[in-house]
Amino acid sequence: MKLLVQKFGGTSVANAERIHRAARRAIKAKNDGYSVVVVVSAMGGATDDLLDLAGQINSNPPRRELDMLLTTGEQVSIALMAMAISAAGHEAISLTGGQIGLITDAVHTKARIQKIDAERIRKEHAAGKIVIVAGFQGIDETGEITTLGRGASDTTAVALAAVLGAERCEIYTDVDGVYTTDPRIVHAARKIDRISYDEMLEFASLGAGVMHSRAIEFGKKYNVDIHVRSSLTDTEGTLITKEVKQMENIVVSGVTLKTDMAQFLLQDLPDDPGVAAGVFASVAEAKVAVDDIIQTVGDSAKASISFTVEKNDLAECRLVCDKIAKQYNIKSVECVSPVSKVSIVGVGMKSHTGVALTMFKALANAKVNINAITTSEIKISCLVNPEQGEQALKAIHSAFELDD
Ligand code: ASP
Ligand code: MG
């Protein structure tokens, strides 16, 4: 029998009316002949409220107890969803992560899924029920309750779709799909019909993700078609799917702008083996996540290394850089903050030429200076001054003819 996983995010179950609306979707899918699994998040804002409450009680709550607390958010939604389906005259059953045998490692608040036992869900489907599953949670081998990290109900949904061999995983959210860029900044942004997993992963790492990146990784690994769409309308959203030849005809799928970054520049480092390793050992030790890294070597046999980090790691990173400066006896550690990064993403880049030129020309015409450039196989990024970020975004978006 064909099977569908539908995931409803916090805004899509934020009140009674929306829960009824979501329930009607699940019932419609059932009437269309599907076995249905509904995965839900906590009601909009509920997880934040619980975290806030925990903070008022204990500024550093035990992680096990945080998981115990946070999982209640999803438990509220599953029960209400099952009641809504029952009120509409259909059979449903709500189940926690533990009840469906979603086993994780024991790392509280950011556990990873190890296995899912599909038996219970299959049994309930065989009895004709719509199965409602709490997202974001599981249990470890010893039965302790765990959570999978913020936003991870998406991951629960895609993992279930993979294990159950679902036809696809529908992600219902408050936007109607993935756009060529942020429509709040560029009004001419267009909804993308189809996008590859890799492009979507780049979008997510550039802060433009509608979805949790681990969910996309799961989708890619197990080849699950993911349909991101609005819970408030019936319009088609965006299909995240495996890369096909015709996707390469589109040179650039989207343009992103990441703000609130900081750039560090270490100059006059010795140009010797082991220096970069030494620098980034210190950075890693401080648990600072590094974004793009650039090293250049001048004719004086000195190297400079620059790298970007999230702005909230700035203070921590400054301390680390001072330590590095002492270690290598260098004077200048420069820090520019904030900086913005504009990027183009597209699998078509692999087979088209002149892509970088189009991007740089667009920036030149808009009189935007480029402070640094980094690339990957399907992405080109430029660091720009934050005051010019939006202008840069618009110029590039229209240069690649992405405007509606
Ligand atoms: N409720 C959890 C959160 O807010 C999980 C989710 O919504 O995906 O992070
Ligand atoms: Mg969410």
Ramachandran region of residue 293, left (φ > 0), alpha (ψ -120 to 50) or beta?
beta
Q: Given the CA of residue 149, which atom of ligand 1 is nearest to it?
A: 9
Nearest CA to ligand 1 atom 5: 151
Closest CA to 258 of 216, 203, 183, 201: 203
Q: Given the CA of residue 74, which atom of ligand 1 is nearest to it?
A: 1
CATH 3.40.1160.10 fits 2-174, yes or no: yes
CB distance 47 to ligand 1 below 6 Å: yes
Identify whether the C-beta of residue 103 lies closer than 8 Å to the C-beta of residue 115: yes
> Ligand 1 pocket: which of 7, 11, 41 to mutate (most atoms <8 Å of CB)?
41
**pLDDT band, residue 145 (cuts 50/70/90):** very high
Q: Given the CA of residue 41, which atom of ligand 1 is nearest to it?
A: 7
| Distance separating alpha carbons of residues 228 and 402, to the nearest angstrom | 20
> Ligand 1 pocket: which of 12, 67, 150 to mutate (most atoms <8 Å of CB)?
150
Protein residues within 5 Å, CB atom, of ion ligand 2: 9-10, 41, 151
Nearest CA to ligand 1 atom 8: 151
Q: Enter the pTM of the model.
A: 0.90
The structural domains of the chain, with segments of one domain joined by +, span: 2-174, 255-399
Q: Would you say the CATH fold of 255-399 matches that of 2-174?
A: no
Joined together, the tokens standing for residue 132 give: 């409602």
User: Whole-number mean pLDDT of the chain?
Assistant: 95
| Distance separating alpha carbons of residues 66 and 107, to the nearest angstrom | 12
Q: 255-399: which CATH number, 3.40.50.2000, 3.30.2130.10, 3.20.20.80, 1.10.340.30? A: 3.30.2130.10
| Distance separating alpha carbons of residues 269 and 6, to the nearest angstrom | 53
Q: Does the pLDDT value for residue 209 go beyond 90?
A: no
Which of 38-42, 58-62, 132-136, 246-250 is predicted least confidently? 246-250
Q: Given the CA of residue 154, which atom of ligand 1 is nearest to it?
A: 8
Phi–psi pair at 75, nearest 5 degrees? -65, -35
The pLDDT value recorded for residue 328 is 94
The pLDDT value recorded for residue 332 is 75
| Distance separating alpha carbons of residues 128 and 351, to the nearest angstrom | 49
Phi–psi pair at 360, nearest 5 degrees? -65, -35
**What confidence tens digit (pLDDT) does each residue in 331-378 have?**
879 999 999 999 999 999 999 999 999 999 999 999 999 999 999 999
> Ligand 1 pocket: which of 49, 70, 72, 136 to mutate (most atoms <8 Å of CB)?
136
The pLDDT value recorded for residue 230 is 95
Joined together, the tokens standing for residue 383 give: 């660091």
The pLDDT value recorded for residue 1 is 79
CB distance 41 to ligand 1 below 6 Å: yes
Q: How many angstroms is it from 51 CA to the middle of ligand 1?
A: 11
Q: Given the CA of residue 153, which atom of ligand 1 is nearest to it?
A: 8
Q: Does the pLDDT value for residue 286 go beyond 80?
A: yes
Q: How many angstroms is it from 146 CA to the middle of ligand 1?
A: 13
**What confidence tens digit (pLDDT) does each residue in 12-71 have?**
999 999 999 999 999 999 999 999 999 999 999 999 999 999 999 999 999 999 999 999
Report which of residues 300 and 61 the model is more confident about. Answer: 61
Q: Does the pLDDT value for residue 299 go beyond 80?
A: no
| Distance separating alpha carbons of residues 39 and 159, to the nearest angstrom | 11
Q: How many angstroms is it from 152 CA to the middle of ligand 1?
A: 6
Joined together, the tokens standing for residue 307 give: 């790298």
Task: Collect all residues with Cβ–Cβ distance below 8 Å to 2 and sequence separation of at least 6.
Answer: 33, 34, 35, 167
DSSP 265: E
Q: How many angstroms is it from 41 CA to the middle of ligand 2?
A: 6
**pLDDT band, residue 248 (cuts 50/70/90):** confident
The pLDDT value recorded for residue 237 is 97
Q: Which ligand is nearest to the CA of 158?
A: 1
